[in-house]
Structure formats: structure tokens, C-alpha cells
Amino acid sequence: MSRQLTTAPSAPNPHLFRVGIVLATYNCDRVHFAAQVDSIKHQDFADWVCLVTDDGSTPEIRQYIAAVIADDPRFIYHGQPHNLGSYHNFEYGVQYFRSDPTITHLAFADQDDVWHANKLSKLLAAIEAHDALLVHSDLGLIDTDGNPLHDSVWQYEKRQPEQLTPELLLLRNTVTGCTMLLRRSLLAHILPFPSQGQTGHWYHDHWMALVAAQQGTIVHLREPLMQYRQHGRNVIGAEQYAGTIRKELVLWLAKKGRLTLKSYRIHRDLSTAFFQRFYPPAAAQRLNPFAEQRLDFGAAILQLGWHSYRTGYGSQGITLRLWLNKFIFDLQRVKRTCCQVFTNSRTP
């Protein structure tokens, strides 16, 4: 279930809530990290604890991080003994706060963005007003020097998150992790994060949004509550017209028309993990539009894409890419089967 808000409700009672913030770092830019930390320190909702979990930065960067947060006891530093990757580094932070019974909500921060001073208070007000499991907001876009690029990433990428369902989230994620706040009760459902294979990775926010949409209500706040810093080192960045046919054609031409099927495999693995977690085997096989065993040459993906188009979710380009991937994938399966049958028929 989804609910749209243009502005957040009135501020919640600050004495009832305590927010855990997971701030994941890896060889951060010093100036950008200091700006992010400063924006967290100046939240108008003050009852928060921020875990800075570093994923194997250089010793110099680790020392710098510890020094920047040393003057505020609400910050806790943890250095991972080896590199986990962004996905499991955020999972560590979720597990850490799950063990703290005083934490009522969780928020997530990147190492180089800037939060508005009312970010936490507005997200708390919205999630409580609708008894939701998760709330997220729009975000502004800035360059590496902090200069504004666009007032709204949702407009920039043509996002319509109000239309999301668990099925449409499998097609395209429209919930950005650094804008979300989730309720503690969701942790039992999102943990542990499903393991990822060698074919490709999805992101922590995609998994958490999927689970929240399946378990309850997501509130969409059409108000930018932070500035997302766009630069060459982003793990994932904002893309104009993301998900459209126009954008997919540009990306395909940039790859000189190569198709690796990696995109389908990532969606297949994520959807398989989701359906295995929440549905019995028979239902999972029947409902999963990306199931490898479904020999339909991408028909279920096209059907999902048609639903996305009709509702205005806006993933036609992604649909065509994934459909073509699945069509080729199934064609290769049929070819291998035919070759095996032919080989067996010639074996005395």
C-alpha cells in the first residue's frame, strides 16, 4: 500500500522516539563527509544515535572519520575488519540497531550528502501519522562542490513512487535509501539480507522497500529533505529520464549494442529471494515474473511492464531491456535442450 503526502504532518512527540542512523563509509572525501556529519548534528530532532560503519578504508581515512565525530557522543564508530561491500555494510548497521531496544526507527545516510535540518522530524511525523512501515522523501541534486543541479530527483528521473507495488518494485526501485525512515517492526522481516550470487548485486534500499511494500504501507513525501551529491564516485547516481525507452536506448548504444543478460539475472535473483522469503514454493513459482523456470520468453515481464505503463509508474524502457534479456535467455535454453536431444538421439 502507498500513500502520497505533499508536506509532512505536524512534528511528533520527541520523547516517544529514538532514531538509529546507519552511516556507511568507504574511503570518503574528507570535506564531503564532514558536511554530512554536520548536517546530522544539526537535526531539529535530537534523539538519535548514528553508527558510522566503515568498510575497510585506508588507516588515514579511518583516523579522520574518528576525529570528525569525536566531539559528539551520539556518534559511534565501527571499522569492519575486511571489506563487506555496501550491501552487507548497511546490513551490519541494521543488525547493530536491532540489538538496541531503545531504537524505534532507522534511517540511512551516505557519506557525502547533506541533510536538511528537519529531515528526521518530518519523516517521523509522516510515518507515525499513517502508521506506516516506511517513509521516504524526494531529494535535491547537487554537484561535487555543492552547487544545485536540480530541485527534485523525482522530477529529474520521472519517478512516480506513489504507484509502486511489490511487483512494480521488482521491475524498478523508486525508493532511495538515504531518504528513508523505517519502523523497528520491519527489521524482523528484512533481516537477514538475502545472499547475492556472482551474477550481479542489488542494493540494500531495494530489498528494504520490497519488504516494506509487501508487509504494509509506504508513505511518499513529495518534499526534498536532503541534497544528494552527484559525482564520479557514486555507488549509484541519479539519471535523467531513468527507466524510459529513450534512456535505455542511450545506454544500449553506449555499450555498442552488447547484451550480457546480467540485468535479467540480477532481477531474477532478487525476485527469487523475495518470493522464497514470503511465499510458499508453489505460489512463488506461479507469481514470480522473473522465474528462471518460467519458459515464456519474457511474456510475464511484458505484462508487468504494461501494468507499469497503465498506472504511470514509468518503467517502459527497463521493461523492454528485461524482456529482451529474458527472451534471449529462454531462446538459449531451448537451443541447449534441442542440442542435447539431438546428441542423445545419435548416441548408440
Domains, the chain, in order of start with CATH, read 2-229 (3.90.550.10), 245-346 (no CATH)
For residue 200, is pLDDT > 80?
A: no
Residue 312 CA to chain centroid, in angstroms?
20
pLDDT of residue 98: 98
pLDDT of residue 258: 66
Mean pLDDT of 188-199: 90
Does the pLDDT of residue 67 top 90, yes or no? yes
pLDDT value at position 185?
98
Q: Please choose, from the candidates 89, 99, 98, the residue with its C-alpha nearest in 3D space to the C-alpha of residue 54.
A: 89
Buried b (16+ CB within 10 A) or exposed e, 30-63: eebbbbbbebbbebebebbbbbbbbbbbeeebbe
State the amino acid at position 342 in one-letter form. Answer: F
User: What is the C-alpha to C-alpha distance for residues 243 and 234, in angstroms, rounded to an integer?
Assistant: 19
Distance CA 276, CA 255 (A): 33
Does the pLDDT at position 256 exceed 70?
A: no
Three-class DSSP category at 23: strand
Rounded (5°) CA angle 329-238-4: 95
Per DSSP, the three-state class of 20 is: strand
Q: For residue 323, is pLDDT > 60? A: yes
pTM: 0.91
User: Quick one: average pLDDT of 224-240?
Assistant: 77
Interatomic CA distance for residues 257 and 271, integer angstroms: 26
Question: Which carries the bigger pLDDT value, residue 231 or residue 245?
Answer: 231
139 and 228 Cβ atoms separated by less than 8 Å: yes
Distance CA 247, CA 320 (A): 12
What does residue 76 show for φ and ψ, rounded to 5 degrees?
-125, 135
pLDDT digit string (tens) for 284-307?
A: 989 999 999 999 999 999 999 999
Residue 4 is predicted with a pLDDT of: 67
The answer on pLDDT for 348 being more than 70 is: no
E strand or H helix at 21: strand 19-25
pLDDT of 127 reads 97
With CA atoms as reference, report the closest residue to 39 among 147, 148, 114.
Answer: 114
Supply φ then ψ for residue 198, to 5 degrees: -85, -5
- DSSP assignment, residue 230? P
Give the cell for residue 41: 548534528
Runs of H (alpha helix) within the chain: 30-41, 59-69, 86-98, 119-129, 153-156, 166-171, 187-190, 204-215, 245-254, 262-278, 281-287, 299-311, 316-346
Contact present, 181 and 134 (Cβ < 8 Å): yes
Is residue 102 within 8 Å of 184, Cβ to Cβ? no
Cell readout for 151 is: 530541485
